[in-house]
Amino acid sequence: MRFYTKTHQYYCGIDLHAKTMYVCILNAAGEILVHRNIRTDQQRFLALIEPYREELVVSVECIFTWYWIADVCAREHIAFVLGHALYMKAIHGGKAKNDKLDSHKIALLLKGGMLPQAYTYPAAMRATRDLLRRRLHLARQRAHLIAHIQNTVHQYNLPALGVRLGKPTERGGIADCFPDPVVRRMIQLDLDLIAYYDQQLAQLEWQLVKQARGHDAQMYHLLSSVRGIGKILTLVLLYEIQDIQRFPTCGQFLSYARLVRCAKESAGKVVGKSNKKIGNSYLRWAFGEAAVLFLKGNPEAQHWLEKQASRHGKGKALAILARKLGQTVYAMLTKNRCFDEAKFMAHLQ
């Protein structure tokens, strides 16, 4: 957990919503100078903070509406801090809770150096990252359609289709395998949607690869050198990591990628694990996929997995491999080196 500890003359805490924003400005002595609810509007916000903006720092909680205010602060050269929503317990733990109280608490945490920070993703790459996340959502919808066709086959106890529905060339005549005309129409609808998704996803992937090489060609090259990390996983890792320098240690990177568990200790005793959901779910998915794909056509790695599975079980063995890939990616990006499979396998042994 990182806290914002820089000192300023004025501290602005905002409880931000889609239509309204409650603004609280404190001075260095903790006195309330402004405490007002205004419409969520750029010009109203700038007019309100105008008397204090030279020595002002602004903070909001990390919710879906923070993009515009971060961009305004960057353009106006105003210090901006994004608060980590899950770590800001003081905001959500009080007996009473409303916008006025929350904005004051954010300002107090900011002034006291106790505001937990989230990463303010740079605007230049933010839209592409969101487009990539949308692409993953669409790919899952396509997978649901394929699964629906397969489930319908079992539902009516029909013979196995014997084709790979993910391959466009093998989908011909699939609807004719269903004797009921209504079911046949339903399956044809699924097939038409799958074909449309294929077209849209292909166009999106071409655009995303082009933009990724424009944003950071070197990082794209390094990540794509890892066995098991193909085009899509390279894009996910590139845009979710963005800058490896924001992780001072490998442990912090692994924690952010959900590749390690955090222990709860008290009086020297471990009492369990906690906060498994804190971190980047996209990175955890990407490294999990990379671990499975790394094993494909790799007898040496498969033998290593069998030994680990006999000790820990297959699930934990795959998690260990994903963590080791995460450590390797961190070392590659910090040292600016391509993947060395022989060295990686020697380290596994």
According to the model, what pLDDT value does residue 274 have?
A: 65
Among 85, 59, 70, 118, CA closest to 246: 118
Given the candidates 1.10.3720.10, 3.30.420.40, 3.40.50.300, 3.90.950.20, the CATH classification of the domain at 3-116 is 3.30.420.40
Token pair 């996209």 is at which residue? 282
pTM above 0.75, yes or no: yes
What was the pLDDT predicted at 108?
Answer: 94
- Report how far residue 221's alpha carbon sits from residue 204's, in angstroms, rounded to the nearest whole number: 20
CA dihedral (306, 309, 314, 319) positive or negative: negative
**Per-block mean pLDDT, blocks of 10 residues, the chain (349 long):** 91 96 95 96 96 94 93 96 84 79 93 93 95 96 96 93 90 91 96 96 95 95 95 97 95 94 74 74 96 94 94 94 96 95 87
d(CA 106, CA 11): 9
- Tell me the CA distances in angstroms from 234 to 87, 90, 186, 217, 222, one per residue in order: 29, 38, 36, 11, 9
pLDDT above 90 covers a percentage of the chain that reads 84
**Cα–Cα distance, 118 to 106 (Å, whole number):** 14
Give me 87's structure tokens. Answer: 């770590």
Tokens of 77: 């050269």
Do the beta carbons of residue 136 and residue 122 sit within 8 Å?
no
pLDDT of residue 268: 73
